[in-house]
Structure 1
Amino acid sequence: MTSTPPRGVLALAAPALVVLAAEPLYLLVDTAVVGHLGAVPLSALGIGAALMTLLAVVGTFVEYGTTGRSARWFGAGRLDQAVDEGVQASWLALGIGGVMVAVGELFAGPLTRLLAGGATANQMAAEHWFRIAVIGLPGVLLVLAGNGWMRGVQRTRQPVVLVLVANGLSAVLSPLLVYPAGLGLDGSAWANLAAQTVGAALFVTALRRAARGVRPRPAVMRQQLVVGRDLLARAIAFQVAFLSAAGVASRMGTPQLAAHQIGLQLWEFTALLLDSVAIAAQSLVGAALGASDAGQAKHLAAQVGRWGLWAGVGFAVLLAAGWLVVPRLFTPDTATLHQAHLLWPWFVAMLPAAGVVFALDGVLIGAGDVGFLRTLTIVAAVGAFAPINLAALHWHWGIGGVWAGLTAFILVRLVGMLTRARGERWVVLGV
């Protein structure tokens, strides 16, 4: 077994951290910009963003699935095949993204009414925002595919530049379009669309330069779809749980929904930061298994699990210290701040466990053990997260009850992943 030194993991994790942080950091800026318009626009942004995330969930496999498949080819010394995985994933991203735009426009009204609990002011603003933002879904999926193959071949620095350019443009546009241009909430949607379009163009250009050919290959795409089936089912389980949380929060009241949006954006930002080590694990574990080095794969699993724990503890300490200050960055509304303080203890308490979960998630995705991840996520979402959310609404537990459900979701996955990682069934060698 050849041990991977910490600097080897960090060399992949650090660029991945920047890429992962760029999008949620922009969303935090966007949330802060919209939050100063008032509670209704902030709540509408929460509804619209939840729907965008639901439709973009189909892009999970073009990113994570492509990373694992590309990494195995890379570990086996087959760079052309590794890059070709990115070509085929990009064709899938373009086709699926076009279908999702049509679906989003067709069902924008019913979906936003479902989440908002009727034709309210929140719902009407959310629908208008969503109809603009959803046009950028093909761009979102192309960026995900680009990140996937580049991580698989351990080419992690170039995505940093591409993602920062796209999201930097959007971060500048959002406040300009919302306030001086007078577009209000819609300005946020146009800024999102600009980032998605620019990002897609940059990643497609990089792929054309790296690939020997860009013709679609249906046989490879079918294989990607097999992996994608399990990753998609896993991602849908995530979204069912999170959409149920948004729906419950909206029925509790506007301050609860606005606070949930603040907490959720911070949660997603923190989760993706913790996920940087998991991205390194996907690439390194996939390459180790592709090179038939089982000992190295197991060593990496233990290593990134420890790192995930300490990273989670670090974020928990920082956010506990920011209990009073951080929510005020997003809204001056007293009622919303009160609700944010109610969810905060749950948010902080779950982070150490979440760090381990995200790290081992990367290990098992890199190993291609996506069937197990699918089943575990469905069990955690349907058996823990969603029922506690609904109970919080029925028995009036408030926004804290919703976040108790998220904590249970993490803990169920933690137990399952630790058990799996200690076994041998995920260690499958070769391409």
Structure 2
Amino acid sequence: MFVTDHPRAGRRRSAGGQPRDRVLDRQILALALPALGALVAEPLLVLVDSAVVGRLGTPELAGLSLASTLLLTVVGLCVFLAYATTAAVARRAGAGRQAEALQSGVDGMWLALGLGIVLAAGLWLAAPWAATALGAEGAVHAHAVTYLRWSAPGMPGMLLVLASTGVLRGLQDTRTPLWVAASGAGVNAVLSVGLVYGASMGTAGAGLGTALAQTAMGVVLGIVVARGARAAGASLRPRSGGIWASTRAGLPLLVRTLSLRAAILLTVFVATGLGPVTLAGHQVVNAVWGLVAFALDALAIAAQALIGHTLGSADVARTRAILRRCLQWGLGGGAVLGVLVAASGPLLAPLFTTDPAVRAAIVTGLLVGAVFMPVAGWVFVLDGVLIGAGDGRFLAWAGIVTLIAYAPVALLVRAAAPEGSAGIAALWAAFAGVFMLARAVTTGLRARSTSWMVTGA
């Protein structure tokens, strides 16, 4: 469907004499592989805390589970800080305006810092109410509140990580965020063990360790970007106009993210209505899907950086070549991952449960999800392409339209599908099929047009 301006463009050779597709492949992988490592930073911090706190007892682990779910949701909603910054920086860097590129990045980082402070205060104040709203009681409630309040001060650092990572991605540097993420995970592990057991702080120690690690990561990445900004002649002072521009660019992406979260929550609602077997199976299938999504999202990040840069340099032919090659990677990667997921179902299910009915539901759900994995690869890459092009308004409207298309199908599954394997098959056919296909159609039609290919800084 997507081709370069010349029918044999994929076979052309670069200046170095190598096939152009091979050069693009190296560029895509050079950005995607480190990005994949950095993507797991926040879940890895929570995983370390879970391993440490789990040894304290069941109420402590249950409280951590509830609190970390809320924290990851908040951070997930703020991912627009990375996406909007990547697009703005890549476009200006591609146009040769390095100082302006870094200035827009600095403005995005100030926005992240301010928003992080507000959210930290809000989480600290709302912690008891939020734990109650999620159904926590007694000791579980107490530990959830404790972890939320001790980890909340790390929110500015985590959002600063998102924004500064977006700056570096826009400059096509995904290795620095990877090293910082890996180092932060190591520091968090040491702090968590030391504070939980050495200082006898319990759940509070896990939250404090995470907050300190997040803050350190934000400071390190902030210093890296600040040095680059200084070298390029950009100001480090907050500019109200620049911060407002970052806010305007980020709001449509926030709407897009909200529509995705709403679809995920609706899917959980449907699974709950289909009974405990379906809900338990869905939990595992959803976790595996999320893990695979990281790999496909890494390709989307590579597409963001490359597309933003080529549009900034007004190279439409190269933009189309990158679009075509990234889509090939998305489809191919999705197909390979789909085969692996389908084959792993019978091996994974026994690791999570001894209930035969739940095992069968897991295997069925993974098989259905695997069938649509190439569609997910296509969708994630096109998301990255349009985000890199700064086409946030379209993505916001497309998110709302696809949610509206998915909602009645999901509710029909809840009303009519049986419990167990048949129910989870219908549920995942609706989510991975109807919802993802709706996203594929909307973004695919947009990418076929030229409306998103606005060139220049």
TM-score range, shorter chain: 0.7 to 0.9
Alignment of 1:150 onto 2:168: yes
Size of the aligned set, in residue pairs, is: 428
1:234-262 CA distances to partner (integer Å, 9 max, x unpaired)? Answer: 11112222234445556777776665444
Distance, in Å, in 2 between the alignment partners of 1:34 and 1:335 is: 30
Aligned equivalent of 2:246:
224
**How far apart are 1:143 and its partner, in Å?**
0.4
Distance, in Å, in 2 between the alignment partners of 1:240 and 1:146 is: 27
1:294-348 CA distances to partner (integer Å, 9 max, x unpaired)? Answer: 111111111101100111112112222221333555x466489636445323332
Q: Are the equivalent residues in 1 in contact too, given 2:168–2:225 (CA < 8 A)?
A: no
Aligned equivalent of 1:68:
87
Distance, in Å, in 1 between the alignment partners of 2:215 and 2:133 is: 29
SS at match of 1:292: coil
**How far apart are 1:163 and its partner, in Å?**
1.1
Find the partner of 2:383 among 328, 350, 361.
361
Find the partner of 2:72 among 43, 53, 56.
53
Task: Mark the CA change 1:375 to 1:144 in structure 2 (over 3 Å): closer, same or farther.
Answer: same
Task: Mark the CA change 1:392 to 1:372 in structure 2 (over 3 Å): closer, same or farther.
Answer: same
Amino acid at match of 1:296: R
SS at match of 1:215: coil
Amino acid at match of 1:207: V
Aligned equivalent of 2:11:
none
Find the partner of 2:328 among 306, 317, 325.
306
State percent identity of aligned pairs.
37
Aligned equivalent of 2:446:
420
Aligned equivalent of 1:193:
211
Find the partner of 2:159 among 138, 141, 154.
141
Pairing 1:103-142 to 2, within 5 Å after superposition:
103-116=122-135, 119=137, 126-142=144-160
1:151-205 CA distances to partner (integer Å, 9 max, x unpaired)? Answer: 1111222122111101233356667877898877666545543432221121122
Distance, in Å, in 2 between the alignment partners of 1:220 and 1:35 is: 44
Cα RMSD (Å): 3.5
Aligned equivalent of 2:178:
160
Amino acid at match of 2:183: V
Distance, in Å, in 2 between the alignment partners of 1:29 and 1:403 is: 30
Structure 2: gaps spanning 5 or more residues = 6-13, 15-19
Higher relative contact order (CA 8 A, sep 6+): 1
Q: Which has the larger radius of gyration?
A: 2
Task: Mark the CA change 1:253 to 1:95 in structure 2 (over 3 Å): closer, same or farther.
Answer: farther
Amino acid at match of 1:61: F
Amino acid at match of 2:162: L
SS at match of 2:326: helix
TM-score by length of 2: 0.81
Q: Are the equivalent residues in 1 in contact too, given 2:83–2:387 (CA < 8 A)?
A: yes
Distance, in Å, in 2 between the alignment partners of 1:69 and 1:127 is: 38
Distance, in Å, in 2 between the alignment partners of 1:373 and 1:235 is: 9
Structure 1: gaps spanning 5 or more residues = none
**How far apart are 1:10 and its partner, in Å?**
2.0
1:213-247 CA distances to partner (integer Å, 9 max, x unpaired)? Answer: 31001111111111111011111112222234445
SS at match of 2:453: coil
Distance, in Å, in 2 between the alignment partners of 1:395 and 1:186 is: 45
Task: Mark the CA change 1:226 to 1:109 in structure 2 (over 3 Å): closer, same or farther.
Answer: same
Q: Are the equivalent residues in 2 in contact too, given 1:291–1:430 (CA < 8 A)?
A: yes
